[in-house]
Every structure is written in structure tokens, then in C-alpha cells.
Amino acid sequence: MFRLKKLFFAIFILSLAYLNVAAQRTEILLDEGWKFSKGNFPNAAEAGFNDTRWETVTVPHDWAISGPFDKEIDKQVTAITQNNETRASEKTGRTGALPYIGEGWYRKKLNLPTLKPNQKVLLQIDGAMSEPRVYLNGKQVGQWNYGYNYFYIDITNDLKVNDNLLAIHLKNMPKSSRWYPGAGLYRNVHLIIKEEKSIDQWGITVTTPIVKKEFAKVNIKTKLTGSGIRLVTQILDSLGKQVAIDTAKGIFGNEADQNLAISNPVLWSPERPYLYTAVSSLYEGNTLKDVVKTRLGIRTISFSAGIGFSLNGKVRKFKGVCLHHDLGPLGTAINTAALKRQLTILKEMGCDAIRSSHNMPSPEQLELCDEMGFMFLAESFDEWAKAKVENGYHLYFNTDAEKDIVNLVQANKNHPCIVMWSSGNEVPDQFGAEGVKRAKWLQEIFHREDPTRPVTVGMDQVKATMQSGFGALMDIPGLNYRVHLYEEANKVFPQGFILGSETASTVSSRGIYKFPVVKGFDKQYPDFQSSSYDLEYCSWSNVPDDDFVMQDDKPWVIGEFVWTGFDYLGEPTPYDTSWPSRSSYFGISDLAGLPKDRYYLYRSRWNKTKPTLHLLPHWNWEGREGETTPVFVYTSYDSAELFLNGKSLGVRKKDKSSPQNRYRLMWMDVKYEPGILKVVALDGNGKPVAEEKITTAGKPYKIVLTPDRKEITADGKDLSFVTVSVVDKNGVPCPTATNALNFEVNGAGTFKAVCNGDATSIESFVKPSMKLFSGKLVVVVQSDKKGGTIALKVKGKGLENGNIEVVSAK
């Protein structure tokens, strides 16, 4: 009876601890009340400095995204070796043609709660672009170099009782990036107030060394500061019900090691991303000193020769995409709603994996991948000791690489979504013995910090890595493109499998089609667009179908990460020497997040829960009457029949005569005539099961608004992405419309940004006007903190207005 009462009392105390976490450890998000100015101000860290004329901003903040676009910004004269270039040429728009270069200062008054004796205060910065130097009350208290990394500083001893001033200096050098890096405090800044006797920051490590149907062993190692303390850990299921509890038997070397058993565990996977929560409570006697909550997923991963990759004992292949860190018209400033929209679009496509390219991911992105079910390849560097750009990471590699990896792993090691690390991407160090040593050194650091996950490198110099031993030493040999070398590499490398760490680099512009329709690389046109027939690619790469063949026919190919899930700012290949062209063409969706045709090609293979039937091109070709206008169908069905104005143009069936015929249905000899183009999908018995049609549109008549969400949170941060399109008098979408539109937002929100997905547009993202591109654009509205109705009105000359209301609620 005594033991039973003692158990009930312990559970009661732990429940109180769980409900009152904020009383023991306080985390303050430093998002509002910042003063910002771009420029060099030698005295800006001092309290007496006059910042009254500085801009008031919220953080996360990207100082460069408001533009203007300018071809002279970071113009680089170089030969891009990754693009097989041997002669230097002028590159405009390589880093987005936005004003990210220069110095900037952020200042904020810290109004802290009254600190108790033996409390300590940490300042954590999730990412600052770049070279942050942190000052408190005029004194430099910390610094970091790598703009993509997370770091924290103990500022306890430098705090005053009141009137504290935090100042952060940032500096972006020219020729420091190969894409748009952003600028400013683009990720979140936190203050953590806790007891001196407490759980260390990033001090909890969760692993699941034994996973069976009947039970799982959860190992939790916890680093602690202080003596005479007791650690109690409970694990809660997704509904908050306790499923395990343990009191640490001892603390050795300031670390507790606990094993907890969970009966009949629910395993984490992309199909069912089930999350538990570990609640770590630290006591001194009966006084609760600290509480930390850690989300965890129970899952197993393995990579083995002859089998490939297995998750929870089941063999599967990665259906992944690479993502840069910018959010299109929002720039690099992290926003959870924008990230979630991206992942929702990818989930509908059937994507199950993300590679952070070529940088360390944000905490918010990883949290969403845990929740929504995406496996994650977390990347670290784009450069090692050898340079790609003049002022790149190679300047810091020898001094900073180890501590950067340590922070990457320690901050993120408990995310179940992460299934592998990457120590680099297409580094010039792939050549020679020194590169092999660096690869081994970096991999061993990852292994030391996290023995549970393998390490890869995105290798593009495949022949060199086969000869030097570079590829052989990697846990996972990752090949960027080079599908023609997969077979040879797999014979040379001892691992017994190959990962397509970067694939395709197919280029296209949403809704733009070029004739004649011929497969080819590095194609360029006077309008600086690429054809959405999805047969154009870069000299070093290939069309998607070539990767599909390897994924489907070679069991030792364990998946792919397509370049890229979304267009991103910078790297406007194949137009990186042309102006205006300031963002990529690689995306499966465009910069506004609107799916291109290629989206449905991938969906037809990847989405196994819903059928796909997509018809292209559009059917507005005035002046092309009677000319050959090929029609493609991307579908999960094996065959379909095409009709033009009621007349059958024949049945096509997928076959293996070529990669394109295997994955696309193509009618190459269609003669254009206006009217109705219809495709009817057929089942295995030749019976109709689905259809889609495209109708030739008349003149634009009315504006149509379609939000991704009609209800958002009144937190001053949440966003609704409203797709704007135009239709004719009969309601038929106008796919070639380029009307100039104006936007007006009233009520409980504000206009945030606009984007039409055109890589050649130099219209501002932050001004409430823009032209349609291929008949569409996206307007982003942001909630305020009051709540209510947000009214968006869109106007265009000669068009019926579009109006929509979005509810913003507490």
C-alpha cells in the first residue's frame, strides 16, 4: 500500500510539473520591437546611440527581399565548374539580384522578468545571415561565422538589473554564395531563462535501440548541471497519456542514462507520423528545478547491401526533393505557415523526403517534417577547404567545421524525421588525397556526435571519387546526376547501393510551351523561359524519366532527391548570363508555389493513394491553327484516349520502348484547332475510368480568387496564400493572360507579398501590384493580432473585380 501511495504521489507531482513548465524554465521569443538599419555604424552597440530613425521590424526578417532587383548586385564573372563551364562569363542574377550585400545592425531593449538567485539566461539564435557579432550593453558577448547555423550564448553575467540593450551586427560579403542567401536575422531569436541547476541546452539525446511489435526500448541520455539533483522522465503518447515513467538511478559525469519501455509502440513513418513526448523533470529534494519536453518518434532505419534502405523493417525508396531555404516572395525569413504550405503541396504529390540544400535546416522545418511525415537528409556545407566562390565557407572551414557540425547534430538529433546527415555538396575537395581525409574527418565527427545515423556527400565528380576512395569511405554514396555512371559506381563502391542525392535538374516555366517539341539540354529562347513539356534539362543532368528507370529497375538504387521541389531565388540556369532572369527554373512548383506540369509527372508515380490524370499543354494557340502541337498526358493509369472536338485521336498505352513512352502518354502529331481537348483514362479492360478536358478560352473577363486557407490564426504571423486567376465570360480559365492587377487588403490583416512565378519578372514582391504570368499569381495576406475578417480585393483594367474574405481568429 505504501508503494502504491508513493507511486500515485509521484504521478501527481509529475502532472503538476508538466502543467507548470513555464514556472521552471521560461523561453521568450524575441520577435517584436527590433530596430534595424543597413550600414556600418561603429557605435551602434552602445546604449547612447540614436536609433530613432531606424526601421522598426519584426524578426525573422530579411532586409533584402524588398529589393529592388538590380543586375549589378553581386555580378560575378566566373566559370561555374558544377555546370561544366571552362570559360568565365558575366553572371547576373546568380544570387537573386537582390541587395543582400553589406552590413546591418539590429537593436532591441531587453525587458526581462526579475531574475531569481541562481538563474541563468541564454540567448539562442537559430540563424543569422551572416557572421553575427552579438553585443550586450555595448560589450561583445559572442559571435559565429556560418549564417546557416544555430548557436547560443550564456549572457547571465553581462546582464544589468534593467535597461539591457541587445545589438547584433551582420555582414554579407559579395561573392559569398551561389544562390540568394538572404540577409538579416532571418530565423528566430530566443531567450531561455532557467535555474543554474538544470538540464543543459540541447542536453537530451533520445534513441530507440530496440523496436519490436510488443515493445520499444527508448534510451534517453540527459546532460545536467548541478549536484544533489534527481531526474524523473515520463513519456506521453500523442493524446498526453503517460505510457512510461522512470527515475534516473544515478547521475555519472553530469549525465543520466535512462531506459524506458513502451508497450505496443506506434511507429513513426511518413504514412503515420506518430509522435510521443518525453517530459524530463529535474528536482532538488522536492523542489522542481527544470522541465524540458522533447518530442520523439519510435522508428528504425537501416541501409544494407542487397536490400537498400529500410524504415521499420520495410524496404522503401526515397521519393524526395531538394529545397533551398528561401520562401519565394517572403525571402529567407522563416514563416511556419509558408513552410507548411510547401510541405502540404509536396505531400499531395506523394513526396516523402526532403534534402536541405545546401545548408542546415531551420528548427521549424524539421518540426513540421516530424509532424507531417517527411524523412529528412540534413545537409551541412556547400564548401569545404576548396573554394567555389571567393568569400564562401572555405574561409572558415578549418576553424569552424567541427563546431558547426556539433551544433547541427546537437540541436537536431532528436528529430525522428532525420534519417541521414550530409557533410557536403559537390565540393571541389572530391579530387585528391586531402579531400578523402577531409571526408573521413567530417564523417567521424558526425559518428561521434550521433552514432545512429549514416552520412553522405552529394558527389558530382563520380569518376574522381571512384578512383580516390572518396566514395568508398562514405556510409552512403550519394550521386548528383550522372545516371550513366550508376552501374559502374555501384560495382566500384563497396556499400552495395547508390542514392540519387540530386537528380534531374529539368528546367521549365509554368504554362510556357515551346515548339518544336524536342528533347535537349541548355536550350535558350528570346523570352528567357523554358518549355513546360518537361524535355529540357541542363548539360550535366537529364529529364525525370531517366531517373525513374533507375529507381524502378535497379533494386540497389535506394531513391532520389529531385532538384528541386520549388523554384528558388538565384541560379537562373540556363539563363544565368541573361538579364532579366533572377530565379531558378528547376522547381517542380514555381516560385509562387504553383505546380508546374512536371508536378503531375512525379505525382503519377509517387502518389499511391489518389489517381493522377493531367493534360498539357493549354489550348489557347491563336495563330497556330493547323500546326503540330503535341499533347502529353501525365497519369497513373496505363492508357488513355485523346479527343479533339469530339474526334478520337487514338489510344496511347505506356510501354518500355523509351523512357518517355514508359512514363508519359504522348500524341506527337496533333494539329491545333480551337475547341475542347479531352483525355479519357482507361482501366486494364479498356473501359473509361476518368477524364480531364481543356477548353480554348476567350478574352479575360473576371478575376477569381482561391485561398489555400480561409481561416488563419490571429497571431500577427499566420498567412493565407490566395491564388489569383482570370476566366472568360463562360468561366473558362485564361492560361495566357498577363493582365496587370492591383491588390487591396482591409480589416484584420495586411498585404504581405505577391509572386507570379515568372523568373524574369523584376516587379517588387512587396508592392500591391503585379502582372499575371501564364494566367496566375499568388497574393499573400498576413493576420494581425486583433482577429476578425481580412478582405482582399483584386482589380484589373477591364476585368470584373475579385473579392474574398479570410477569417483571422484567436
Cell of 616: 498539357
The residue written with cell numbers 538565384 in the block is 570
Give me the residues paired with residue 717 across strands.
Answer: none
Q: How far is CA 619 from CA 180, 513, 631, 678, 726, in A?
A: 35, 11, 10, 11, 15
The residue written with cell numbers 540577409 in the block is 183
Contact 369, 343 (CB under 8 A): yes
Contact 412, 369 (CB under 8 A): no
Q: How far is CA 259 from CA 218, 278, 511, in A?
A: 6, 12, 55
Pairing of strands 455-459, 418-425: parallel
Query: How far apart are the C-alpha atoms of 612 and 526, rounded to whole Å?
Result: 33
Amino acid at 410: Q
Give me the residues paired with residue 520 across strands.
Answer: 536
Q: Using DSSP, state whether 368 is helix, strand or coil.
A: helix
CA neighbor of 578 nearest in space, from 200, 90, 169: 90
Q: How far is CA 178 from the centre of its chain?
A: 17
Burial of 289 (0-12, 13-18, 19+ CB in 10 A): buried
Beta carbons within 8 Å of 400's beta carbon, 6+ residues apart: 145, 146
The residue written with cell numbers 544555430 in the block is 150
CA neighbor of 318 nearest in space, from 609, 534, 597, 605: 605
Query: How far apart are the C-alpha atoms of 559 and 645, rounded to whole Å?
Result: 41
Query: How far apart are the C-alpha atoms of 408 and 449, rounded to whole Å?
Result: 10
Query: How far apart are the C-alpha atoms of 121 and 153, rounded to whole Å?
Result: 9
Is 444 a residue of the active site? no
Is 426 a residue of the active site? yes
Which among 383, 502, 560, 641 is annotated as catalytic? 502
Instruction: Please calculate the CA angle 339-344-350 and round it to the nearest 5 degrees.
Output: 130
Scanning 524-563, the segments in alpha helix (DSSP H) are 544-553
Which among 195, 364, 383, 426 is annotated as catalytic? 426
Burial of 672 (0-12, 13-18, 19+ CB in 10 A): buried
Sign of CA dihedral 472, 477, 478, 483: positive
Report the catalytic residues.
Answer: 426, 502
